[in-house]
Structure formats: structure tokens, C-alpha cells
Amino acid sequence: MTIETLSFQQSAAWKDRVLPPVEQVAEGVWALPVPIPNNPLVYTYCYALADGSGVVLIDPGWDGKDQYLALTSALADLGFTVADIHGIAITHYHRDHIGLVPALLAKNPDAWVAMHGEDLRAIKRFYTNAVDLGTGIDPNLNIARAYGVPEDRWAEVESLQVGSNKGGSKSDSMSLYRQAMSRLPENIHVLDDGTELPLDDGRLTAMWTPGHTYGHSAFVRDEDKLFFSGDHVLPTITPNIGLDSGAITHSLGDYLRSLEKIGELDEDVAVLPAHGFRFTGIHDRKVELVEHHHERLGEIRARMEATDDHSVYSIAAGLHWSRGFESLHNFNLFAALAETAAHMHYLGIDIGVGSLVGKD
């Protein structure tokens, strides 16, 4: 089954990088686009699922006044208020997915929150700036030096390093966000592979899909073959692998194994991703994603032969990047280095960060 869009409105919006309309995507399920400020992804889909007399949300999206308004007015059009939210299921802890959770809980403290234990841990150490990261990477390590980044570019990378305390001072919005995340409630439903969400109505099952983050979870609704894929499988882009603060080193092996889990799903499931558009043809998409990473591994092997400088930076500089390596700065540079490091580690190449957990 080839990859086919299930919504021309959504795929047209994705192509033009504009906000798509709210759409009903299945019986009692709606896709509500929530904008992401200054980001090429433009929006995250929050999925609203009717649940008894209320509603359950998957990934409410980025935090902010405009976002809160976009989400709550879309819910209002469907006849729901924030008080009707029974619970919030989270695919992973990135800000464009989980950001609005504290604001929603402030209005409705009775709503449950469900997420994988590994991403809960990641939030605690990342957003609270905890020093003990449990990653196996020395928090005092200068990752820019370890990766062979030229000294005049260290500042671009350092502020983004795991456990860095410099990120918070970079933008007020980020430090406010860190504070909000540090106040997440303790009564969270911790998900594992196969956990059923506490719905009043129907069944929704978590599928643990580590890779993009170590605790990334997708959700399966068997009765009408819906697969809420989060960022694990997207229709046209590949999720960044390697950036996760909790599992920088073994994320590619995890990701490839998680892609194999896609084989457990029926071929004709409707894929409801967090970005892009909904589609069918998940088995073909899986093959494309696996091929992409194998091509990348091949590129890295070739680059290793072509140069004596085997630092992550030097290898990354020799890879193909859609807008060229020279155009990568700050976050984009860090993401490219992390992705390169994850692929190199997968190949058993020393990436210069010392003792590591989670070898493949």
C-alpha cells in the first residue's frame, strides 16, 4: 500500500506551511492544529477524543496565549470546555507536544496526565535543570569540545547541551516554560508498552516507541484502526534522532527497533501524526524511514574513509544537509551534530563523550 493522504486540506496546508482547519478525522476524533511560533513545522496536531460526556486530548501543543486560545476555541466549537477534559495523553516531552499541559491543569486540576516514565524522567532532569542527568554522560563534559566543534562556535552548542544551565537565560519564554514544567503534578499515569489509558469510553493503548525521545509513545485505537503516531512516524519528514537528552547515544538503535514494531499494525491503519497530514501506507513509510537511516550510515562510513578527522563535527560537515552544513547554526547545528553522533555510535565509532550507557 503506497503512502496516501487522508486529507487534501491537511496536505495542502502542510505544503504551504499554513494552519489547516479543524477536522473530524474519525468517529468522535478531531484534529486541532495548535500553532508553534517561529518554527518551520508551523503547528502540532492536538487530537481530541470524545470520552463519555467529556474529552481526552493527545498532545495539547506548544505553550502560549495564542496557542491556549487556538486550542480552547476549537474545543468550544466542538462543545467542550477545559473543565470537560478528562485527561491528557502525551506522546513525548517536547515543548510542541506537552507545552500547554500546565496551563490546562491550572484550570482543570482533576484531569489526568499520561506519559511514559522515561519521558517523565527526562522532563524532570531537563526542564528542572537537574545536574544528575542519569545519562552516563558527564554533565561537566564540554560536548562542543568532545564533538570537535571549532572553538569560535562553542557558544552555539554549549547552551543546548544536556543539563546546561545556560539555556534558561537565553530566552525568558524558555525559563518560564522550565518553571511551569517543574510544577507538573505528581499524579501522572505512567505508561509502558501496552498500557491502556484510563478512558471512560472505548480503548486506547500505548505503544512504546523509543527513538525520537526515549519515552516516546504512540497510541493505538484498535476498534477503528487509528494510530496516533506522535513524531515516531511522520508523512514527509524524518524525526530528529539523537537529540534526546536522556538517550543521545543509543537512540538510532532504539528508533530502528521501534520502526519494526510498526509491523504489528494493520497495513491500512489511519496514521494520525503530530505534524504534517494524516495518511495511510504506514508499512511503506516505515521502509522509507529505515532506508533513510541506512543511507545516512553509508554516507558516514564513506566520510570516515575520506577524512582523518573522525570527530563528530568533521563527519557531520561532510554529510548532505538539505540547506547545506554552512547554513546550520545554534539549535540546528546542535541537532545535526546529535544526529550524526547517534549514527556514528550505532556504527560503533567513538564519539568522544567517554563512558556511555545503553550501547547497542
Q: Which residues bind Zn ion (CB under 5 A)?
A: 96, 231, 274
The grid coordinates listed for 96 are 510542541
> Residue 291: CB partners within 8 Å, gap ≥ 6?
none
In the bound state with Zn ion, the residue whose beta carbon lies nearer, of 97 and 303, is: 97
Rounded to a whole number of angstroms, the minimum distance from the CB of residue 44 to Zn ion is 6
| C-beta of residue 196 within 8 angstroms of C-beta of residue 204 | yes
| C-beta of residue 55 within 8 angstroms of C-beta of residue 172 | no
Rounded to a whole number of angstroms, the minimum distance from the CB of residue 234 to Zn ion is 8
In the bound state with Zn ion, the residue whose beta carbon lies nearer, of 14 and 80, is: 14
Rounded to a whole number of angstroms, the minimum distance from the CB of residue 279 to Zn ion is 16
Rounded to a whole number of angstroms, the minimum distance from the CB of residue 81 to Zn ion is 26
Give the span between the Cα atoms of 116 and 355, in whole angstroms: 26
In the bound state with Zn ion, the residue whose beta carbon lies nearer, of 51 and 96, is: 96
CA 302 to chain centre: 29
Cα dist from 45 to 14, 90, 134, 178, 280, whole Å: 12, 12, 31, 22, 17
In the bound state with Zn ion, the residue whose beta carbon lies nearer, of 11 and 311, is: 11
Number of other residues whose CB lies within 10 A of the CB of residue 318? 17
Beta bridge pairs of residue 29: 26, 49
Q: DSSP class of residue 141? A: -
Rounded to a whole number of angstroms, the minimum distance from the CB of residue 231 to Zn ion is 4
What φ, ψ does residue 80 adopt, rounded to 5°?
-115, 145
First-to-last C-alpha distance (Å) of the chain? 32
Rounded to a whole number of angstroms, the minimum distance from the CB of residue 211 to Zn ion is 13
Rounded to a whole number of angstroms, the minimum distance from the CB of residue 251 to Zn ion is 15
Residue 265 burial (C-beta neighbours within 10 Å; 0-12, 13-18, 19+)? buried
Give the span between the Cα atoms of 275 and 252, in whole angstroms: 21
In the bound state with Zn ion, the residue whose beta carbon lies nearer, of 51 and 231, is: 231
In the bound state with Zn ion, the residue whose beta carbon lies nearer, of 63 and 231, is: 231
Give the span between the Cα atoms of 149 and 142, in whole angstroms: 10
Location of C-alpha cell 508553534: 36
Rounded to a whole number of angstroms, the minimum distance from the CB of residue 50 to Zn ion is 24
In the bound state with Zn ion, the residue whose beta carbon lies nearer, of 213 and 249, is: 213
In the bound state with Zn ion, the residue whose beta carbon lies nearer, of 44 and 135, is: 44
